[in-house]
Amino acid sequence: MSTERMNQRINRLDKLSERLFGEPGEVEYAEAEELLKTAGIDPSQLKNDLYQRMLERSEKYQGAGKPLPLRLRQALEDLRPGSEKPADQATVARTTARSAIVRLFREIQELPARLESGIKPEFSAAYRKRTELSVRDKKVLDEIMDELRKQTHG
Protein backbone atom coordinates (compact mmCIF):
# COMPACT_ATOMS: atom_id res chain seq x y z
CA MET A 1 0.00 0.00 0.00
CA SER A 2 1.41 3.40 -0.97
CA THR A 3 2.24 6.00 1.66
CA GLU A 4 -0.30 8.40 0.19
CA ARG A 5 -3.05 5.81 0.33
CA MET A 6 -2.08 4.86 3.87
CA ASN A 7 -2.20 8.53 4.93
CA GLN A 8 -5.64 8.90 3.35
CA ARG A 9 -6.91 5.88 5.33
CA ILE A 10 -5.43 7.22 8.55
CA ASN A 11 -6.97 10.65 7.97
CA ARG A 12 -10.36 9.07 7.25
CA LEU A 13 -10.15 7.00 10.45
CA ASP A 14 -9.11 10.10 12.43
CA LYS A 15 -12.12 12.04 11.16
CA LEU A 16 -14.47 9.16 11.90
CA SER A 17 -13.02 8.75 15.38
CA GLU A 18 -13.40 12.48 16.12
CA ARG A 19 -17.02 12.42 14.96
CA LEU A 20 -17.80 9.42 17.16
CA PHE A 21 -15.86 10.28 20.30
CA GLY A 22 -14.87 13.95 19.99
CA GLU A 23 -11.33 15.25 19.77
CA PRO A 24 -8.70 13.19 21.62
CA GLY A 25 -8.35 15.85 24.34
CA GLU A 26 -12.08 15.64 25.06
CA VAL A 27 -12.10 11.90 25.80
CA GLU A 28 -11.58 11.27 29.51
CA TYR A 29 -9.12 8.59 30.61
CA ALA A 30 -11.85 6.43 32.17
CA GLU A 31 -14.01 6.72 29.04
CA ALA A 32 -11.13 5.70 26.77
CA GLU A 33 -10.33 2.75 29.02
CA GLU A 34 -13.98 1.67 28.99
CA LEU A 35 -14.17 1.95 25.19
CA LEU A 36 -11.08 -0.23 24.82
CA LYS A 37 -12.42 -2.85 27.23
CA THR A 38 -15.77 -2.86 25.42
CA ALA A 39 -13.89 -3.56 22.20
CA GLY A 40 -12.16 -6.50 23.89
CA ILE A 41 -8.80 -4.74 24.20
CA ASP A 42 -6.82 -4.81 27.45
CA PRO A 43 -5.64 -1.18 27.93
CA SER A 44 -2.50 -2.20 29.84
CA GLN A 45 -1.49 -4.72 27.22
CA LEU A 46 -2.16 -2.22 24.43
CA LYS A 47 0.03 0.35 26.17
CA ASN A 48 2.83 -2.20 26.65
CA ASP A 49 2.62 -3.38 23.02
CA LEU A 50 2.70 0.19 21.69
CA TYR A 51 5.65 1.03 23.94
CA GLN A 52 7.59 -1.99 22.65
CA ARG A 53 6.92 -1.00 19.02
CA MET A 54 8.04 2.58 19.65
CA LEU A 55 11.11 1.33 21.52
CA GLU A 56 12.08 -0.88 18.58
CA ARG A 57 11.69 2.05 16.18
CA SER A 58 13.77 4.30 18.42
CA GLU A 59 16.56 1.72 18.48
CA LYS A 60 16.73 1.88 14.67
CA TYR A 61 17.26 5.65 14.83
CA GLN A 62 19.84 5.31 17.58
CA GLY A 63 21.65 2.56 15.66
CA ALA A 64 21.86 4.85 12.64
CA GLY A 65 23.11 7.73 14.79
CA LYS A 66 20.05 9.85 14.00
CA PRO A 67 18.12 11.94 16.53
CA LEU A 68 14.69 10.61 17.50
CA PRO A 69 11.77 12.37 15.82
CA LEU A 70 9.84 14.52 18.26
CA ARG A 71 6.61 12.52 18.07
CA LEU A 72 8.43 9.22 18.60
CA ARG A 73 10.19 10.58 21.66
CA GLN A 74 6.88 11.91 23.01
CA ALA A 75 5.21 8.53 22.43
CA LEU A 76 7.99 6.77 24.34
CA GLU A 77 7.63 9.21 27.25
CA ASP A 78 3.85 8.86 27.31
CA LEU A 79 3.82 5.07 27.02
CA ARG A 80 6.74 4.29 29.33
CA PRO A 81 5.75 1.59 31.85
CA GLY A 82 4.89 3.09 35.20
CA SER A 83 3.47 6.28 33.69
CA GLU A 84 -0.03 5.57 34.96
CA LYS A 85 -2.80 8.15 35.28
CA PRO A 86 -2.53 10.26 38.45
CA ALA A 87 -5.51 10.18 40.79
CA ASP A 88 -6.75 13.78 41.06
CA GLN A 89 -7.06 16.73 38.68
CA ALA A 90 -4.45 18.87 40.44
CA THR A 91 -1.91 16.07 40.07
CA VAL A 92 -2.91 15.60 36.43
CA ALA A 93 -2.50 19.34 35.76
CA ARG A 94 0.86 19.45 37.55
CA THR A 95 2.16 16.34 35.75
CA THR A 96 0.98 17.58 32.37
CA ALA A 97 2.48 21.02 32.88
CA ARG A 98 5.76 19.57 34.17
CA SER A 99 6.00 17.23 31.16
CA ALA A 100 5.32 20.09 28.76
CA ILE A 101 7.97 22.31 30.32
CA VAL A 102 10.60 19.56 30.51
CA ARG A 103 9.85 18.59 26.91
CA LEU A 104 10.11 22.23 25.85
CA PHE A 105 13.50 22.67 27.57
CA ARG A 106 14.77 19.47 25.97
CA GLU A 107 13.58 20.58 22.54
CA ILE A 108 15.23 23.98 22.97
CA GLN A 109 18.51 22.31 23.94
CA GLU A 110 18.33 19.97 20.93
CA LEU A 111 17.28 22.63 18.44
CA PRO A 112 20.79 23.71 17.28
CA ALA A 113 21.85 20.11 16.59
CA ARG A 114 18.58 19.36 14.82
CA LEU A 115 18.87 22.44 12.61
CA GLU A 116 22.47 21.60 11.73
CA SER A 117 21.49 18.05 10.77
CA GLY A 118 18.88 19.38 8.33
CA ILE A 119 15.82 18.29 10.32
CA LYS A 120 13.06 20.85 10.13
CA PRO A 121 11.31 21.75 13.41
CA GLU A 122 7.85 20.31 14.00
CA PHE A 123 5.18 22.64 15.30
CA SER A 124 1.84 21.66 16.71
CA ALA A 125 -1.14 23.59 17.94
CA ALA A 126 -2.07 23.58 21.61
CA TYR A 127 -4.63 20.99 22.57
CA ARG A 128 -6.77 23.50 24.40
CA LYS A 129 -9.23 25.68 22.56
CA ARG A 130 -8.53 28.69 24.77
CA THR A 131 -6.20 31.48 23.75
CA GLU A 132 -5.13 32.31 27.32
CA LEU A 133 -4.17 30.22 30.32
CA SER A 134 -6.48 30.08 33.28
CA VAL A 135 -5.33 31.52 36.62
CA ARG A 136 -4.95 27.98 37.95
CA ASP A 137 -2.85 26.92 34.95
CA LYS A 138 -0.62 29.97 35.33
CA LYS A 139 -0.11 29.18 39.01
CA VAL A 140 0.83 25.55 38.27
CA LEU A 141 3.21 26.59 35.49
CA ASP A 142 4.83 29.24 37.71
CA GLU A 143 5.37 26.70 40.50
CA ILE A 144 6.96 24.23 38.10
CA MET A 145 9.11 26.93 36.53
CA ASP A 146 10.37 27.99 39.98
CA GLU A 147 11.11 24.38 40.86
CA LEU A 148 13.02 23.83 37.60
CA ARG A 149 15.00 27.04 38.16
CA LYS A 150 16.02 25.82 41.62
CA GLN A 151 17.15 22.51 40.13
CA THR A 152 19.16 24.10 37.32
CA HIS A 153 20.67 26.96 39.33
CA GLY A 154 21.39 24.93 42.43
Amino acid (1-letter code) at residue 81: P
- Please report which confidence band the pLDDT of residue 135 belongs to, taking 50, 70 and 90 as the band edges: confident
| pTM for the whole structure | 0.41
- 45 vs 122, higher pLDDT: 45
Q: Can you give the pLDDT at residue 84?
A: 56
Q: Please answer whether residues 72 and 58 qualify as being in contact, where contact means their C-beta atoms are separated by less than 8 angstroms.
A: yes
Phi, psi of 4 (to 5 degrees): -65, -45
The Cβ-side half-sphere exposure at 116, using a 13 Å CA radius, reads 7
Tell me what the mean pLDDT of segment 14-22 comes to: 72
Q: Please answer whether residues 136 and 93 qualify as being in contact, where contact means their C-beta atoms are separated by less than 8 angstroms.
A: yes
> Minimal CA–CA distance to 138: which of 126, 146, 148?
146
Q: Can you give the pLDDT at residue 131?
A: 60
Q: Can you give the pLDDT at residue 18?
A: 72
Tell me what the mean pLDDT of segment 65-69 comes to: 86
